[in-house]
Structure 1
Amino acid sequence: MRRSITTALAGAALATMATPALAQEGNSTRQVLGRILDVILGPDEQAQPDDAAAPVVAPVSMDQVLAAPTRNEDRARDEWRHPAETLGFFRVQPGQTVVDYMPASGWYTRVLVPYLGSQGLYIGLTPDPAAADAERFETYFAGLPGKFREAAPEWGLTGAPMAVYGSQDLPEELNGQVDRVLIFREMHNLLRSGAMYTELSRIRGLLKPDGMVGIVQHRAKESAPAAYTLGGNGYLRETDVIALMRAHGFELVDSSTINANPRDPANWEGGVWVMPPGLSGDDAMDARTRDLGESDRMTLLFRKR
């Protein structure tokens, strides 16, 4: 039974993400998924020779990951996003199973896949379109997996096997098997789309008993009016994010100022997108914001209760 389910899941992952990482790590994908199923079903003493483990690839250091040519266009953002410090604060380690929630253009994908290594597993997770309460978000969410699948082969990544799922399509076998879920600058979209309850409930189900959620989010001032912090401007109050996570079954483990930027007043009429790298304002606004760096951000770590 274990072998048949492993084969089915590995086949689904390979079909879902036909990337160089998967093309080179097909056996490792089966190995990682096999380890998950060992937890659920118990080891299969009758495993056949073709279930043998793939060779272990030596882990790549974070310094090597950040210096890799695959990140040449990403590196300018390191000054503001602090990937090594942020992932360290979230206690992300090679070999873990990590969900990157709404990975967008893959900025953190290009860090996580090589860093997790061939013994890890990278899962890009996107929201269920049916969970949205507005047609524009349904359309937006529905298009995310396809955009990611289309772009990923061009990144030339090796390391952790990769898969991408809409949350409505998650394999049941992954429940209780994820070490970390990382949500980078997407809590405002969950709030304003109406999808937060559905998505955080599914995320909670994915986590191991000691699994954690790391959140980086544009931070509003605590004095900001409620009308400004409902998601449409990108900024949320830190106390609100903590309260929302608690209401969905998580407790705060720690907070950090790693991604703080006191130069951001966090009250822009055009929302966070007038700040770099978006620079969505007119020429006069761009001149005001261009040299401020990226938004002021909270960095929070939670575990499920």
Structure 2
Amino acid sequence: MKKMLSAVLLSGAVLSMAALAAKPAAITTALSDTARPADDVKRDGDRKPAEMLEFSKIKPGAKVMDLVPGGGYFTRIFAKAVGPEGWVYAYQPSELDSFSKGKSPKILAVAKEYPNVSVIHAPINDLSAPEALDVVFTAQNYHDMKDDFFKPADTDKVNKAVFKALKPGGLYIVIDHAAEKGSGLRDTNTLHRIDEAAVKQEITAAGFEFAGESKVLRNTKDPKTANVFDPSIRGKTDQFVYKFRKPLKAK
């Protein structure tokens, strides 16, 4: 029995390595980065970083903003994926200072480890970028702009600022925990979820085109009635992964 289990585990590891090897070099380099903390690597199975990089079109030389980077899970990955010719701006909203529980120092430490990462520490409503960006990426944060973390965040203003910061054709990637359909903003402060239709409506109203969805983080078994931090669902919530594009003719 032990031999059979070992064989299964070995087979799974070999398949994972083979799958990673089949990815573009920038992705394999990013995920093989030995500087990544062990706790980050453990989360890869739930967060699907290789698929996120592919979906976001983050490539060597790209200029990327990691909007609300937390402890820098994606910041580290982006830094390696864009390489020395690219740049990553970790936008850490100052509204989170009282809630961050040490994460602001963490992202500053990440910036010291990666020479192509810089931290922007400013109010969320003052969002801007030092140069035109290829991608703005935010994971599991959009709902927070509607709750007590960011009051008085103005998502209309934030989305317009993201639009302005991107190059024509640039991408805005939004990942978040899905709420029940039709619930709007009802659950943002209680369950930390948001109705994906509300997100799509707000972002397209800022001038973006909806450019597609990845379903790799979907979980149809999530009843969407539990707080995302509930042990019964944490790390396994139904998440939407949306891609929005700034039109090529936009200024």
TM category, shorter: 0.7 to 0.9
Q: 1:198 to 1:156 in 2, by over 3 A?
A: same
Q: Does 1:185 align with 2:148?
A: no
The one-letter amino acid paired with 1:221 is: E
Q: How does 1:128-207 map to 2 (within 5 A)?
A: 138=95, 140=96, 147-149=103-105, 151-153=107-109, 157-158=113-114, 160-166=116-122, 168=126, 170=128, 173-174=130-131, 177-192=132-147, 193-195=151-153, 196-207=155-166
Say which SS state the counterpart of residue 71 (structure 2) adopts: coil
Deviation at 1:97, TM superposition (A): 0.5
2:78 is aligned, of 80, 96, 112, to 112
Structure 1 length-normalised TM? 0.63
1:77 is aligned, of 32, 43, 57, to 43
Give the whole-Å Cα distance in 2 for the aligned partners of 1:238 and 1:251: 15
Look up the match of 2:29.
Answer: 64
Give the whole-Å Cα distance in 2 for the aligned partners of 1:126 and 1:248: 22
Say which SS state the counterpart of residue 236 (structure 1) adopts: coil
Give the whole-Å Cα distance in 2 for the aligned partners of 1:69 and 1:157: 12
Q: Does 1:98 align with 2:53?
A: no
Look up the match of 1:234.
Answer: 192
Give the whole-Å Cα distance in 2 for the aligned partners of 1:169 and 1:222: 29
Structure 2 length-normalised TM? 0.75
Aligned length: 216
Kindly indicate whether the alpha-carbon contact (under 8 Å) linking 2:72 and 2:110 is maintained by their aligned counterparts in 1.
Answer: no
Look up the match of 1:300.
Answer: 242
Say which SS state the counterpart of residue 51 (structure 2) adopts: helix
Residues 111-131 of structure 1, C-alpha deviation per residue, up to 9 Å, x if partnerless? Answer: 11111111001101133x5xx
Kindly indicate whether the alpha-carbon contact (under 8 Å) linking 1:114 and 1:157 is maintained by their aligned counterparts in 2.
Answer: no
Give the whole-Å Cα distance in 1 for the aligned partners of 2:111 and 2:198: 36
Q: 1:226 to 1:97 in 2, by over 3 A?
A: closer
Unaligned runs of 5+ in 1: 1-58, 130-137, 275-285
Residues 228-251 of structure 1, C-alpha deviation per residue, up to 9 Å, x if partnerless? Answer: 334442111221111111122212
Residues 57-102 of structure 1, C-alpha deviation per residue, up to 9 Å, x if partnerless? Answer: xx96322321222222211111111001111111111111000000
The one-letter amino acid paired with 1:266 is: K
Give the whole-Å Cα distance in 1 for the aligned partners of 2:184 and 2:175: 20
Give the whole-Å Cα distance in 2 for the aligned partners of 1:69 and 1:160: 17
Report which stretch shifted further, 113-122 or 191-200.
Answer: 191-200
The one-letter amino acid paired with 1:200 is: N
**More helix by proportion, 1 or 2?**
1
Give the whole-Å Cα distance in 1 for the aligned partners of 2:44 and 2:26: 16
Kindly indicate whether the alpha-carbon contact (under 8 Å) linking 2:200 and 2:210 is maintained by their aligned counterparts in 1.
Answer: yes
Q: Does 1:214 align with 2:169?
A: no
Kindly indicate whether the alpha-carbon contact (under 8 Å) linking 2:146 and 2:185 is maintained by their aligned counterparts in 1.
Answer: no
Larger Rg: 1
Look up the match of 2:228.
Answer: 272
Give the whole-Å Cα distance in 2 for the aligned partners of 1:108 and 1:302: 19
2:90 is aligned, of 106, 118, 124, to 124
Unaligned runs of 5+ in 2: 1-23
Q: 1:178 to 1:142 in 2, by over 3 A?
A: farther
Give the whole-Å Cα distance in 1 for the aligned partners of 2:110 and 2:88: 17
Runs of 4+ off more than 4 Å: 141-144
Q: 1:231 to 1:251 in 2, by over 3 A?
A: farther
Kindly indicate whether the alpha-carbon contact (under 8 Å) linking 1:98 and 1:121 is maintained by their aligned counterparts in 2.
Answer: yes
